[in-house]
Structure 1
Amino acid sequence: MARSLVDLLTAHASNHPDRTAYRYLVTGDCDGEIQELTYARLATRSRAVAAWLQERGLAGSRAMLLYPPGPEFICGYLGCLAAGVVAVPGVPPQGRAQNHRALTRMKRLLADADAKVVLGGRDVIAALDGMAEHLPELDGIARVATEDIPDEAATAWREPELTPDTVAFLQYTSGSTSAPRGVVVTHGNLLDNERVITERMGHTPEAIAAHGHEMFVSWLPVYHDMGLIGPVLNTVYLGVTATLFSPLHFLQRPDRWLTAVSRYRPHTSGGPNFAYELCLKHADPDLLGGLDLSSWKVAFNGAEPVRPATLRRFADTFAPAGFRREAFYPCYGLAEATLMVTGGTVGIPPTLLAAAAGTPNAGEADAAAVSCGRPGPGVTVAIVHPERQEELPEGEVGEIWVGGDSVAHGYWRNALATRQTFRVQLPGQDGRFLRTGDLGFQRDGELFVTGRLKDLIVIDGRNHYPQDLELTAELSHPALRPGCTAAFSVEAGEQGERPVLVAEIAPDRAGEAEKITDRIRSAVGEAHGLSLRDVVLVQPGTIPKTSSGKIQRRATRTAYLDGTLSEVTAAPVE
């Protein structure tokens, strides 16, 4: 029995060395340059990286991974696992607009993880070497471009002693520029969640054979849990083939995703809801006429709210290209549970509930909730009253708690947060649960996610912490009152969730409202890459707070939607 993905990679390299593990579309185009990694080559490169790490006595330490999109990241990641080194996927600084933000996050992660080495692509390592004198965080940290490690190094690789409790990697939750939280994922967590994904998504030997081992097409970022644990690592788990390309190339031309699905005919491919919306915006007769989506069995939709209207419009629009409504596969997961918690049933359309009657299989136009499917085998989902911490009856909305071997061990070097989030228990039940901070209810064994108990804002599949947006806004203009700003998101029709910012200003600065609003929009756009749907400037004392002085964002959002805020002025809605 395999103890880790390292064991499975070794087996695949031995049993079918010439099978393609990963196919990478360098330009995002099927007819452009393509790089391929066979299982034999993947094993060699991973072992070469592992041997380099082992020879420097780095087993058990943390390695920051900073790669541009491409197969070299996978070799580096698997090399860490094969060396018993804890991988820490990160986003490399790239481009002017994101350079400062990526650098700030990279520095925080380096410090929090106490990384001893940085693995990356040649350009990234060269850039870091050039900035070393201005980055004291890099002092004493080895840096290597893994492309430059020779294949011959693989011969020195020694198989590590890995157990289910050995830490495989730290998955840092995305979006925050405050104190980062690294989720501690073990080899046991990884194997269990790959088992869950395999079962829930129908990756059976029969399905693999029917698709000629072509199981995935993905443009998802590999340094985030959905892109890494799903398409990349389930490929190694199963010994199949995945076609990958850069998120940037998808955003530039969303039709590349559908073209790759049509060309390579995978079983599974997907992304957040916004990705399907982007495809709809670029759908035209020429594109539809050249697609064949009939082999697409699992079109997963997760990481942000699944919208019934998107499902209907996408299915209707791409039906002429062979897309089937029953291929849609809403799912729910989070990094703290490694990835997948619940998923649909392959070949059956998603369950939709109507707003009023709560009847199943409502039409998309009047549906209020989309089922995210059933828990995977060995996964327990409970709906719990967040204050009383008592399990609620079916149909009642409460906090989603998750139990099982996929639940990660906790937050890196944060015992208090680990105890509060990962170590909770239900009266009369054995085992520990994970508090997700998400709200939902269960009906007939299916999970419906309705919102977030926590204040995390998810825009176009990216997480943003409201505290970060609020701080950026307050620093943009001296008229804004410190600690008196609230950020939240609202529904904006087909655009999905969009951010809104409400801020108190000094009464004598009301005449500058337009200028202040422009400053806020510009600062938030530059720092977070977000376009604010609305900026509302209000009188002092308007924003509700708790007795301890904490901003009540949900109450502010309710007042905004009700139109009861005491506005100084409001910027026009875009």
Structure 2
Amino acid sequence: MVRTLVDSLTAHASQQPDRIAYRYLVTGDCDGEVQEVTYGRLARRARAVAAWLQERGLAGSRAMLLYPPGVEFVGAFLGCLAAGVVAVPGVPPQGRSQNHRALTRMKRLIADADARVILGGREVIGALEELERDLPELDGIVRVVTEDIPDDAAGSWREPGLDADSVAFLQYTSGSTSAPRGVMVTHGNLLDNERLVTERMGHTPDVIAEHGHELFVSWLPVYHDMGLIGPVLNTVHLGVTATLFSPLHFLQRPERWLTAVSRYRPHTSGAPNFAYELCLRHATPDLLDRLDLSSWKVAFNGAEPVRAATLRRFAETFGAAGFRREALYPCYGLAEATLMVTGGSVHTPPTLLEADGDGPHAGTADAAAVGCGRPGPGLTVVIADPERQEELPEGETGEIWVAGASVAKGYWRNALATRETFRAVLAGREGRFLRTGDLGFLRDGELFVTGRLKDLLVIDGRNHYPQDLELSAELAHPALRPGCTAAFSVDDGTDGERPVVVAEVAPDAAGEAEKIHDQVRSALAEAHGLAVRDVVLVHPGTIPKTSSGKIQRRATRAAYLDGTLAVLGGPTAP
């Protein structure tokens, strides 16, 4: 009987010890150095780490995992599960030059989780020693380089007494609208969501055999739920092979992703919408000639708004390399539901609904609403009026509520937030629901996500979704970077709330700033009937984003009000 993912790992290690579990491209290139770990080796490493933790009496405590991209993280994560230790994936520091925001987040997570041990690679643990003076949170916390734990330690591992309700790990939310919260994902949640991923993405035994067990290629960060639950843990769940490489190597050369898909021919690979846009920018004729994407059956797209225009252009451009439109796979999920909530049907093109209205983009592929598929078996999705807590009829927009075995236990040490988010009651429905904070509607059983409840702009009594305003702004001028625009409202004290648009543009577009301002204002007036209070153009990479790449509109608004945005040509003030 499989009670945890560790049971799955043990079975695969026994039945196919020499099969490659993970292949890691050290340089991001298929012809560069490649590290491989078999199921037999992975099981030994997991048991060795587990035994080390058990011998120090750490069962039941929290362990912060701070690893650079690579396979060592997987052994440590599974080792925590095997020891009955609650894993806490985090972003590792990068020495003295590390990003201040990442360091602040790490400090917050260590304190909130009350971590007793930090597991990491040699360089990471060394970097923590240098940062110790700036990190009083490290006092009394054991730090260990898991590479130094010998395989022989596996012999003293003892199976922990776990059940479905035991917490497996804390998945800290990305904090797009609030401070990060630790979602308590149980072993039962994890197994149920792996079941849903398997079912929704068509990972049947026949498909696995057809692809020679090559199921995933992924560069997604493993400290985020999409990269962890999908490519990394579904691999262990099914006993297949995944090819991994660093997010940084993808960002440096986006064609590496497509090249790895072409080389290893996986069934499934995906990313947020911005990654598909980056690939489109680098789609040279030479690259298209070198690629064969015909084996790619599930190109999942989630974690941020899915753009209809991106789907259309990606299918058209990479069709020359064998990519099929039917492989496009918009999906929806969140950490509070472990990961996956809805997903499309394999071998079926995504559903696009033309936008209503008379704006310049209405009725076009650019403005179409994108269907994110249907919930898997055992998961219930309803649309609710968040104030009246009543279910809305099909077609009406409201808050997305979810119920099922994948819904997590709650927030770590936050009873109030747990009660508000995880304990919602719906008139006429039994059981409790998860309030996602996301807005959407159902049509023919398919979910269409329209925005965030807390990001909603209410101007002159009308609701406006920031994603709609951002898309209209980005389409107004080619210098605006896709997925790098934030729309929010500010009360000017006289006319009430008015929209502000902050958009990243290339530095060489400064000469066109006036023209860009005018075109953005015109686009929002025509498409949405809005008079924009301000359009602010900022340098690339300066709009605040979460660890998963989502726009942080509240943080951008705060920076706008504080006059701290990295504005082209100088600072701005409200």
TM-score range, shorter chain: 0.7 to 0.9
**Which residue is equivalent to 1:16?**
16
Q: In the aligned structure 1, how far is the partner of 2:377 from the partner of 2:178?
A: 36
Q: In the aligned structure 1, how far is the partner of 2:8 from the partner of 2:302?
A: 27
Q: In the aligned structure 2, how far is the partner of 1:296 from the partner of 1:20?
A: 20
| TM-score of the aligned structures, taking structure 2 as reference length | 0.82
- Verify the 8 A CA contact 1:105 1:177 in the aligned structure 2: no
Instruction: Measure how far apart 1:131 and its partner are.
Output: 2.5
**Which residue is equivalent to 2:451?**
451
Q: In the aligned structure 1, how far is the partner of 2:529 from the partner of 2:144?
A: 52
Cα 1:557–1:414, aligned 2, differ >3 Å: closer, same or farther?
farther
**Which residue is equivalent to 2:232?**
232
Q: Specify the SS of the correspondent of 1:562.
A: coil
Aligned length: 500
Instruction: Measure how far apart 1:287 and its partner are.
Output: 0.5
Cα 1:400–1:502, aligned 2, differ >3 Å: closer, same or farther?
closer
Q: Which residue identity does 1:169 align to in structure 2?
A: F
Instruction: Measure how far apart 1:354 and its partner are.
Output: 1.3
Pair 1:223 & 2:223 matched = yes
**Which residue is equivalent to 1:277?**
277
Q: Which residue identity does 1:225 align to in structure 2?
A: D
**Which residue is equivalent to 1:562?**
530
Q: Deviations over 1:384-407 (max 9, x none)?
A: 011111000111111000000000
Q: In the aligned structure 2, how far is the partner of 1:137 from the partner of 1:558?
A: 52
Instruction: Measure how far apart 1:136 and its partner are.
Output: 1.4
- Verify the 8 A CA contact 1:171 1:183 in the aligned structure 2: yes
Pair 1:490 & 2:490 matched = no
Q: In the aligned structure 1, how far is the partner of 2:222 from the partner of 2:364?
A: 32
**Which residue is equivalent to 2:124?**
124
Q: In the aligned structure 2, how far is the partner of 1:292 from the partner of 1:349?
A: 20
Pair 1:199 & 2:199 matched = yes
- Verify the 8 A CA contact 1:8 1:237 in the aligned structure 2: yes
Instruction: Measure how far apart 1:71 and its partner are.
Output: 0.4
Q: In the aligned structure 2, how far is the partner of 1:140 from the partner of 1:436?
A: 37
Q: In the aligned structure 2, how far is the partner of 1:125 from the partner of 1:557?
A: 53
- Verify the 8 A CA contact 1:48 1:153 in the aligned structure 2: yes
Q: In the aligned structure 2, how far is the partner of 1:364 from the partner of 1:41?
A: 52
Q: Specify the SS of the correspondent of 1:433.
A: strand
Instruction: Measure how far apart 1:103 and its partner are.
Output: 1.7
Q: In the aligned structure 2, how far is the partner of 1:413 from the partner of 1:167?
A: 13
Instruction: Measure how far apart 1:571 and its partner are.
Output: 6.1
- Verify the 8 A CA contact 2:485 2:503 in the aligned structure 1: no
**Which residue is equivalent to 2:267?**
267
Q: Which residue identity does 2:234 align to in structure 1?
A: N
- Verify the 8 A CA contact 1:499 1:534 in the aligned structure 2: no
**Which residue is equivalent to 2:545?**
none
- Verify the 8 A CA contact 2:486 2:503 in the aligned structure 1: no
**Which residue is equivalent to 2:375?**
375
- Verify the 8 A CA contact 1:332 1:343 in the aligned structure 2: yes
Q: Specify the SS of the correspondent of 2:393.
A: coil
Q: Specify the SS of the correspondent of 1:410.
A: coil
Report matched runs for 1:93-172 at 5 Å: 93-94=93-94, 98-172=98-172
Q: In the aligned structure 2, how far is the partner of 1:98 from the partner of 1:499?
A: 25
**Which residue is equivalent to 2:27?**
27
**Which residue is equivalent to 1:296?**
296
**Which residue is equivalent to 1:549?**
none
Q: In the aligned structure 2, how far is the partner of 1:363 from the partner of 1:73?
A: 46
- Verify the 8 A CA contact 1:501 1:534 in the aligned structure 2: no
Q: In the aligned structure 2, how far is the partner of 1:205 from the partner of 1:559?
A: 48
Pair 1:398 & 2:378 matched = no
Q: Deviations over 1:495-539 (max 9, x none)?
A: 135125777899xxxxxxxxxx9xx999xx9xxxxx9x999xxxx
Identity, % of aligned positions: 75
Cα 1:240–1:571, aligned 2, differ >3 Å: closer, same or farther?
closer
Q: Which residue identity does 2:209 align to in structure 1?
A: A
Q: In the aligned structure 2, how far is the partner of 1:116 from the partner of 1:175?
A: 24
Q: Specify the SS of the correspondent of 1:170.
A: strand
- Verify the 8 A CA contact 1:400 1:437 in the aligned structure 2: yes
Report matched runs for 1:425-444 at 5 Å: 425-444=425-444
- Verify the 8 A CA contact 2:66 2:118 in the aligned structure 1: yes
**Which residue is equivalent to 1:319?**
319
Q: In the aligned structure 1, how far is the partner of 2:134 from the partner of 2:446?
A: 52
Deviates more, 1:334-343 or 1:493-502: 493-502
- Verify the 8 A CA contact 1:312 1:364 in the aligned structure 2: no
Instruction: Measure how far apart 1:96 and its partner are.
Output: 5.7
**Which residue is equivalent to 1:348?**
348
Instruction: Measure how far apart 1:357 and its partner are.
Output: 9.1
Q: In the aligned structure 2, how far is the partner of 1:505 from the partner of 1:404?
A: 44
Q: Deviations over 1:310-350 (max 9, x none)?
A: 11111111111100000000000000000000000000101
Q: In the aligned structure 1, how far is the partner of 2:528 from the partner of 2:309?
A: 25
Q: In the aligned structure 1, how far is the partner of 2:452 from the partner of 2:177?
A: 20
**Which residue is equivalent to 2:186?**
186
**Which residue is equivalent to 2:419?**
419
**Which residue is equivalent to 1:64?**
64
Instruction: Measure how far apart 1:98 and its partner are.
Output: 4.0
| TM-score of the aligned structures, taking structure 1 as reference length | 0.82
**Which residue is equivalent to 2:571?**
none
Cα 1:30–1:561, aligned 2, differ >3 Å: closer, same or farther?
farther
Instruction: Measure how far apart 1:289 and its partner are.
Output: 0.5
